[in-house]
Structure 1
Amino acid sequence: MANLTIVAHITAKADKVAFVKSELEKMVAPTRAEKGCVQYDLHQDNDHPTHFMFFENWESRELWQAHSNSQHVQAYRTASEGAVESFALHEMTQIA
């Protein structure tokens, strides 16, 4: 069975970029240690620094959902409330 790939796009409010970046970075280490996490990489757009992207691979959708409900993700959501302009998440499957 193929891994579940998650691509998440986060756009910070212009005056909150450093704060959102810091909060996103806090999730990396604990997430990489989670059961089922194959890859969890955070990127920032070179031309549009308000735009961040997570590229993730998980062993299963169930394990990714457990991550989504984890304490560190909930802490991020609480901390970043009002600092994020937009958020889009895509669940994907590698086909080639």
Structure 2
Amino acid sequence: MNTQANKPLTVVATIKAKPEHAEQIKSELLKLTAASQTDQGCIQYTLHQDNANPNGFIFYEIWENNEALQQHVQSSHFQHYAKVSEGMVDEFVITEMTSL
């Protein structure tokens, strides 16, 4: 039996915007943050910007479970972000973790 199944899912999403699109990406990420914080199953959803590299952003997210995360990924606000940011991002990495 997977004991992690009952624990919340932590997600760290790293986004590196192309320099010429950093401000637009930041604006879209802020909209995404506001909408995502109201998603069912969202415990925490915070956006951070790299102090040394303003093109770098990190989301720190905690979801009740993987199902809540999958619902978030399918949400209209996440799909909108994916569509409008296409071609503006150099890197988008998702790391899923469970607290020990």
In the superposition, the TM-score normalised over structure 1's length comes to 0.97
Displacement of 1:34:
1.0
Work out the percentage of aligned pairs sharing the same amino acid.
45
* Bigger CA radius of gyration: 2
Alignment coverage as a number of residue pairs:
95
- Please identify runs of 4+ aligned residues in structure 1 that moved more than 3 A: none
Aligned residue in 1 for 2:63: 58
Displacement of 1:53:
0.3
**Structure 2: gaps of 5 or more residues:** 1-5
Encode CA deviations 1:70-89: one digit per residue, 9 max, x unaligned: 00000001100010011100
Encode CA deviations 1:23-75: one digit per residue, 9 max, x unaligned: 11111121111110000000000001111000000001001100001000000
Q: RMSD between aligned alpha carbons?
A: 0.6
**Structure 1: gaps of 5 or more residues:** none
Q: Tell me, in whole angstroms, the C-alpha distance in 2 between the residues paired with 1:46 and 1:80.
A: 22
